[in-house]
């Protein structure tokens, strides 16, 4: 049984082949792409579980110019690719990492890195997305379907983005626990640096709106000022 189907986007052929060979031996199915155009074609052809993108890619056709992998990530998200995306890059500045997450990445690995470390990141991201929960019904006829990325209020439907779904899933799995912003960044975004906590607040606010939760008298997500958040709802039996 395959451990997962992975897409590697890397413009240097020897590096690409090395990645594919390592992960194939470790029990994964692998495909590769050397250009953004090829990567977008691949996600239309295959059902990948995760993608690994280099941040800097050369232009197709052998040109000397470079293509921003951040824009490729955004294009993949815009086209509906909702599986984890891991960036690998020699650019280690905090602003580069933050931009990567804002473009829709789930993790960011700086070069040089070992293949063992990259596999650990791959496993962690796959584990987060393979959480399977049944449809959960809460007070007020609110139904949460994490598999379909949807919240129902009676006949009305709200659609969750991948990140919103992962955030809500983590809240539900840790109901009753106080979760700091740093914990949410690390566990949902795969990012442990103590920056960009506003990213968490923005996503929590969006999830609250889709749950139609009253911030003054919350039923789902409680804010603990200076500490973090707690999911306080219990599904009906």
Q: What percent of the chain has pLDDT over 90?
A: 52
**Contact of 36 with 76, CB cutoff 8 Å:** no
Q: Which of 17-26, 188-197, 199-208 has the lowest mean pLDDT?
A: 188-197
CA angle 48, 181, 194 (to 5 degrees): 90
When pLDDT is averaged across residues 43-53 and rounded to a whole number, the result is 94
Q: Is the pLDDT of residue 193 over 60?
A: no
- Tens of pLDDT, residue by residue over 63-118, are 455 567 888 999 998 888 888 999 998 877 788 888 888 888 888 998 888 999 99
Q: Where are the domains of the chain?
A: 5-129, 136-231
CATH of 5-129, picked from 3.40.50.9100, 3.40.50.300, 3.40.50.2300, 3.60.15.10, is: 3.40.50.2300
pLDDT one-digit tens code per residue, 164-184: 998 999 999 899 999 999 889
Alpha-carbon gap, residue 52 to 87, rounded angstroms: 6
* pTM exceeding the 0.75 threshold for the entire prediction: no
* DSSP label of 187: I
Per-residue pLDDT of 152-161, as tens digits, reads: 999 999 999 9
- CB contact set of 30 (below 8 Å; sequence gap of 6+): 5, 6, 7, 8, 19, 20, 23, 24
Average confidence score pLDDT of the chain: 87
Between residues 132 and 96, which one has the greater pLDDT? Answer: 96
pLDDT value of residue 144: 94
The CATH fold assigned to 136-231 is: Arc Repressor Mutant, subunit A (1.10.10)
Beta strands in the chain (DSSP E): 5-9, 29-33, 50-54, 56-58, 66-68, 85-89, 107-110, 136-138, 142-145, 150-153, 156-159, 178-179, 221-224, 228-231
pLDDT of 227 reads: 93
Are 51 and 7 in contact, with CB atoms under 8 Å apart? yes
């Amino acid at each position: 049984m395959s451990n997962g189907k992975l897409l590697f986007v890397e413009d240097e052929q020897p590096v690409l082949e090395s990645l594919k060979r390592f992960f194939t031996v470790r029990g994964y199915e692998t495909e590769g792409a050397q250009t953004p155009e090829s990567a977008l074609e691949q996600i239309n052809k295959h059902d990948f579980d995760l993608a690994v993108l280099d941040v800097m890619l050369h232009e197709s056709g052998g040109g000397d110019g470079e293509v921003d992998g951040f824009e490729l990530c955004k294009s993949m998200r815009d086209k509906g690719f909702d599986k984890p995306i891991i960036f690998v890059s020699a650019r280690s500045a905090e602003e580069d990492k933050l931009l990567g997450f804002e473009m829709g990445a789930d993790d960011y690995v700086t070069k040089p890195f070992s293949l063992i470390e990259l596999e650990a990141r791959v496993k962690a991201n796959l584990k987060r997305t393979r959480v399977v929960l049944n449809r959960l019904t809460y007070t007020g006829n609110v139904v949460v379907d994490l598999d379909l990325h949807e919240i129902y209020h009676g006949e009305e439907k709200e659609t969750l983005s991948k990140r919103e779904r992962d955030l809500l899933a983590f809240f539900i799995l840790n109901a009753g626990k106080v979760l700091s912003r740093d914990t949410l960044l690390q566990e949902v975004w795969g990012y442990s640096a103590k920056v960009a906590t506003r990213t968490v607040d923005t996503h929590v606010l969006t999830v609250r709106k889709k749950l139609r939760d009253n911030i003054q008298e919350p039923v789902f997500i409680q804010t603990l000022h200076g500490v973090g958040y707690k999911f306080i709802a219990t599904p009906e039996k």
